[in-house]
């Protein structure tokens, strides 16, 4: 009996080197991704109900992702011709034009990214990789086949990552946190002197929980 091992990139890793075929042609990853934020998401199979609702939801928010300088890329183990036919069906039957590419992966690629269900044959999990402009993995989400993703949460995650890179950590539910709203958390002090300075400079609940206004772009 052959044991199958799976691996996946970890947070902070550069996305693996892959040459893939997509509905928009061949792509070399991560090279072709660099320079923009990327949401790469896998789905179990074409021509399935939950996946169809997800693709429509992603496309409906396509302009929102563009506004964040973030590109979308879908992926499953279906072949390119199946992706093309499914995209055509979505356009003709649901009047939604899918504008982002879809990767036709194989078992080896899916295994390399840790996207295969142990008990689901060759269907990929609903994985989401958010990559920064250096093609570093910044956030990973996994969903079971039975649960469709919340695309607004993915948009929020991209916004939060971009904001935290520039301004500091963001709280739960940002920008609508129950305690501090859209404010930014100040890094906790590591010395008594800095703790006192933070408490004097920022609004706070205590010296280790200081916060400051969000700087609008």
Instruction: Give the number of other Cβ atoms within 10 Å of residue 4's Cβ.
Output: 9
Active site residue 70: no
Instruction: Give the number of other Cβ atoms within 10 Å of residue 110's Cβ.
Output: 22
Angle, to 10 degrees, between the axis of helix 80-94 and the axis of helix 49-60? 70
**Residue pair 131/37 in contact by the 8 Å Cβ criterion:** yes
Selecting among 33, 39, 51, 127, the annotated active-site residue is: 51
Question: Which pairing describes strands 70-76 and 37-42: parallel, antiparallel, or unpaired?
Answer: parallel
Q: How many residues does the chain have?
A: 217
Write out the catalytic residue numbers. Answer: 51
């Amino acid at each position: 009996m052959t044991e199958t091992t799976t691996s996946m990139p970890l947070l902070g890793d550069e996305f693996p080197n892959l040459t893939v075929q997509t509905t928009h042609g061949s792509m070399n990853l991560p090279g072709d991704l660099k320079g923009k934020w990327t949401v790469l998401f896998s789905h179990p199979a074409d021509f399935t109900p939950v996946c169809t609702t997800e693709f429509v939801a992603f496309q409906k928010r396509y302009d929102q992702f563009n506004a964040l300088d973030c590109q979308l890329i879908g992926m499953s183990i279906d072949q390119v011709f199946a992706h093309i036919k499914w995209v055509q069906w979505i356009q003709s039957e649901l009047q939604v034009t899918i504008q982002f590419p879809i990767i036709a992966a194989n078992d080896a690629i899916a295994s390399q990214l840790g996207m295969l269900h142990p008990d689901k044959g060759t269907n990929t999990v609903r994985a989401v990789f958010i990559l920064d402009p250096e093609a570093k993995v910044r956030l990973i989400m996994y969903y079971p086949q039975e649960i469709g993703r919340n695309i607004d949460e993915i948009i929020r995650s991209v916004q939060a990552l971009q904001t935290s890179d520039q301004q500091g950590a963001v709280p739960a539910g940002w920008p609508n946190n129950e305690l501090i709203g859209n404010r930014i958390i100040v890094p906790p002090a590591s010395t008594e002197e800095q703790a006192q300075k933070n408490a004097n400079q920022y609004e706070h609940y205590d010296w280790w929980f200081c916060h400051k206004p969000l700087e609008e772009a």
